[in-house]
Each structure stands twice: as C-alpha cells, then as structure tokens.
Amino acid sequence: MNLQDFRTRADVFLVGGIQEKFIEMTTKYNEGNYGDAVAMAKTLVESTCAYVYHAVTNKEIEEDKGHVQVTGNYTIGMYAAVRETLRLFAAQLPNFEQTEKIATTTCDLVQSIADLRNSAAAAHGGRKRSIPPAKLEALLAIEISEDLAATLLLMLHKYQYPDDFNVIGSLIDKTDDMESYVDVNDSGRYVVDSPQFNIGYTVIRSIIQSVDYEVKKLPVNQNVDAEHIKDIVMDYLPKDAKFEGMESDQMYKFYSEVHDTHYSAIFTDLNPGMILRISSFDETLYNA
C-alpha cells in the first residue's frame, strides 16, 4: 500500500485537520510503523467526529458531550464521540428502527480499533514490552477508520446541502439523462449531452467537485449576456452564494457564507458557444 492507493479517499478528506491526520496515518504505515499508524487511525476518527459535530452544532463535542478532567480540560472517548456524532444524522438512515443497531455496531468496530491501538507501543508506555500490531492488523484498523470517517463526512455533506441538488460540494443527484463514467467509488464524471448543451459533473465519492457547462452552437457575448452567464453559474452553487466580482476578464468569483467557500467560473469563448468551468477554490492560496 502507498499513499496513491488511497488518493480517492484523500480527496474526500479536504478539511485541513482531517487531511493532516490521514496523511500522517498513511505515512506511518508506509514506513512500517504499524503501532503509530493504528494510533493515527484512531485520531483520524476522533478528528472527524470533532469537525463534523462542530459543523452541525457549532459546539465542541468534548465540552458538549464529554466530561471535565482533574486538569480542567474537557475530554470525550472515541466510542462516545462516534455515537454522539452518528446521532446527529439518525434521520438520514432509511431504516430508522435500525439506527441504534447501526450506531452500536459501528462503535463496536471503532472500539476494536482502540483495543488494537492500546496494545501498540505507540499508545502508551509500560513496564512490559508491548507487541505492536502486524501489518495486516494495522491495515484493518486503517480501512475501518477511513470508511467511518468518509461516511461521517458524506453525512455532513447531505446535512449541509438538504435543498441543493447537483451543486458544487453536494452529493450527485443522478438523473435519467446522465451518462455515467465513474469507478466503483463513484468517482469520475457524469455527463448530460444534448444538441445545444453539454454539462459535465466531476465527482469524487459522489461529491461534485466541478461542473463544465458548454453551450454548443448559440453565440454568447460575455458583455451582453453577463447576467445570463451569472444565472447559469448560480444554478450550480449553493442557494446563498452571491456574485462578488470579476477576478479577471474570464473569471467570475462567488462566495457562500453558509459554507464559507469561494467559487470561480472560468469563461471560455468558443465562437459560437462557450464553456463555463465552475468549481470551488481556496481564497488564501489563490492570493498567496
């Protein structure tokens, strides 16, 4: 296994703190430090729970659901963190009566990771020499942690975009007129093609990363049709997104306060026709 083997999952963990834990976990595994890798697998789950819980409730999970230590700091165990985070999304589970069983089973899997991690040298010191997990044991812990973390993030996406369909950042809503060019992880492209238009959705694990909107034959004047172009872009952005201005002659810039995300639309004149490439971008990196 190497870092590229999980490139699809790495793209899901775009949140800085979570992505950092994912990379460190995978690096430790590749270096043969399986005890450290298992420890980081647990940390990946904990970090994901903390991020998701705060995104939904605007509260720190340790303070809201944890307990105070003698030092005065708040803490919460991984088992409790997963349980409380899953409860936020109980309504998303189609078999509601099975919600508690699903949560319990998931927490049992996570607790197994913790038990495996606690036998590793990376977890804690002790008088006796501990036996670190084997390569396959570490891989099992990593796989479970990645799947659980990715699932929680996907639940968060669905929660944050309840009324938005097929916009940047939302889950793809597959329609009958879409042609599918995706892999088993639902990563790739969905395309809607007609004589007048071609719309391509680039997705990673079902989450829309960018949209290419092509007008094939109709002439488009960027100045005359400026408002129409903005309206097209807005159809693929969250409902609260607003036009902020032109970053360049070809780049339209938008911002969503709800998601604290900047979006760009790059205009290409095909004469006749046009292509708009719509995606999110990091304002900090762009201005660096």
Tell me the domain boundaries of the chain.
Answer: 3-160, 179-287
- The pLDDT score that the predictor gives to residue 171 is 81
Q: What per-residue confidence (pLDDT) applies to 122?
A: 47
SS (HEC) of the chain: CCHHHHHHHHHHCCCHHHHHHHHHHHHHHHCCCHHHHHHHHHHHHHHHHHHHHHHHHCCCHHHHHCEECCCCCEECCHHHHHHHHHHCCHHHCCCHHHHHHHHHHHHHHHHHHHHHHHCCCCCCCCCCCCCCCCHHHHHHHHHHHHHHHHHHHHHHHHHHCCCCCCCCCCECCCCCCCEEEECCCCCEEEEEECCCEEEEEEEECCEEEEEEEEECCCCCCCCCCHHHHHHHHHCCCCCCCEEEEECCCCEEEEEECCCCEEEEEEEEECCCCEEEEEEEECHHHHHC
Both tokens of 171, joined, read 């889950």
Q: What's the pLDDT at 276? A: 96
Per-residue pLDDT, 216:
92
* Threshold 0.85, pTM exceeds: no
pLDDT given for residue 8 in this prediction: 40
Mean pLDDT by 10 residues, the chain (288 residues): 39 65 90 87 88 88 90 86 83 64 68 61 51 82 84 77 78 90 88 95 89 92 89 91 91 85 92 92 57
State how far the Cα of 29 lies from the Cα of 40, in Å rounded to an integer.
10
For residue 181 the two structure tokens come to 């060019």
| pLDDT for residue 82 | 84
Beta-carbon count within 10 A of 50 CB: 18
